[in-house]
Amino acid sequence: MRRPLAELVRMSRFALVSVSGTLVHYTVLVALVETDTLGPLPASALGFLAGAVTNYLGSRRWVFASDARHIVALPKFLAVAATGFAGNVAGMALALDWLQLPYLLAQILVTGILFFWHYGANSLWTFARRG
């Protein structure tokens, strides 16, 4: 079991990495929507994928200081990201179609909920220390 302070530091680092990934995600989202290239749902999906790359690199190196080989960690990260991707698309569809929220407010809400999924799954599974 990790000490509470160490866990808080790690979660704070994860939050900073997540902000970087989220900036990439939202930049792609807004650029594609505001240029009428794509609608909010597919633009959000592409932005999510772009942000996932940023999150993997930052999480592996700085947040979890993992020495796991990419061949081991990357498939786990992608499984977590795929689940998060499905949650993002479902959450956005719900927020846009059912709740009728503006697309940016919808994305902020969905991102906040998914933060806890990503942290927990990556902490306990993807980058968990064995032994």
pLDDT for 83-116, tens place per residue?
998 999 999 999 999 999 999 999 999 989 999 9
For 10, the token pair is 């790690």
Q: Which one, of 1, 8, 15, 47, lies nearest residue 116 by Cα?
A: 15
Q: What is the rounded average pLDDT of the residues 19-23?
A: 93
Confirm whether 51 is domain-assigned.
yes
User: Rg of the Cα trace of the chain?
Assistant: 15
Residue 75 belongs to some domain of the structure? yes
Structure confidence at residue 7 as a pLDDT band (50, 70, 90): confident
Whether the model pTM is above 0.85: no
Whether the pLDDT of residue 76 is over 90: the answer is yes
For residue 131, is it within any domain?
no
Task: Measure Cα distances from 112 to 15, 26, 38 in Å.
Answer: 11, 13, 23
Residue 91: inside a domain, yes or no?
yes
Give tens-digit pLDDT for 25-70: 999 999 999 999 999 999 998 998 899 889 999 999 999 988 888 8
What range defines the domain where residue 78 resides? 4-126
Query: Is the pLDDT confidence value at 124 over 80?
Result: yes
In a domain, 78, yes or no: yes
Give the dihedral sign, CA 115/118/120/123. Answer: negative
> Is 12 a domain residue?
yes
Domains of the chain: total: 1
